[in-house]
Amino acid sequence: MKQTTRFRRLIEGPEILVAMGGYDALSASLIERAGGEVVYMSGSSVSTAVHGRPDVGLTTMTEMVDRAREMVSAVDVPVFCDADTGYGNPINVVRTVEAFERAGVAGIHIEDQTFPKRCGHFDEKGVVPTAEMVQKIRAATDARADDDFTIIARTDARAVTSLDDAIDRCFDYVDAGADVIFFEAPRSEAELRRVATALGDEAPLLANMTEGGETPLFTAEQFAGFGFDVVLYPATGFKAAAKALDEVYAEIAETGTQAGVMDDLLTWEERNELTGLAEITDLERRYTSE
């Protein structure tokens, strides 16, 4: 089965789809190892990992596609990706869809922010007119070679205009061809339920579970009860990794040894197992034996 088809079936399945975010091949592998049925490539995490800077539109389309290709190659589950605003006008969106599709991803989301975009839970965002986003969605759906390649429309209008405007936009986005609605930053259970009541019959709904953001923390089961189909944990893994690195490096800098953090590290054997050293060794023996 194509990964695009597999991704669609997971979205449309009876259980809510839990999507954990990664930012490189290793994190993608760990998501799959943990039982993740899909891998999400987080734009925020990639931006911070590549540039060491916040998610404010610094990462280019080619940087994101290159990283996506690496993650796709590392796992056997579908990968879907953050494609920011589509990196420009509808013509740029065409190129963006073509590039991500060639990289092997199962779908992307594009958002209705102005450029330069910002993390959906940052302040001082702007959104483009609804008609402009509609044209981008039309361009995206026209550009895909595989009809199962999923186009996810994200609206950030809740934080910029109003809840009502954000909901109204989503009807237009579905009419333009969006396969899934990503409604960013509802602020309460009541708002989540209202979104699901208004839009749940229009398209599958994706909720974003960002720690410290505008949306309170709920479980996947609770999101399912609200009427959502996908729940995204975009940067939890990256933040855990960054915190671990910060603590380990500080320990070494202070003490001159890693002895105090050995229990927090993979063992030599665990690292080799995680990275598939045995398989590489077997290949070396196969092609170097007489």
Annotated catalytic residues are 40, 55, 82, 84, 109, 111, 119, 154, 184, 208
* Assigned token pair, 129: 């007119």
* Assigned token pair, 52: 């060491």
Distance of CA 176 to the CA centre of its chain: 22
Task: For residue 264, give the nearest of 287, 247, 283, 286 by alpha carbon.
Answer: 247
Distance of CA 78 to the CA centre of its chain: 12
Per the CB < 8 A criterion, the answer to whether 42 and 22 are in contact is: yes
Per the CB < 8 A criterion, the answer to whether 44 and 236 are in contact is: no
- Please provide the DSSP assignment of 128-177 as one string: --HHHHHHHHHHHHHH-SSTTSEEEEEE-GGGTS-HHHHHHHHHHHHHTT
How would you class 289 by CB atoms within 10 Å of its CB: exposed for 0-12, middle for 13-18, buried for 19 or more?
exposed
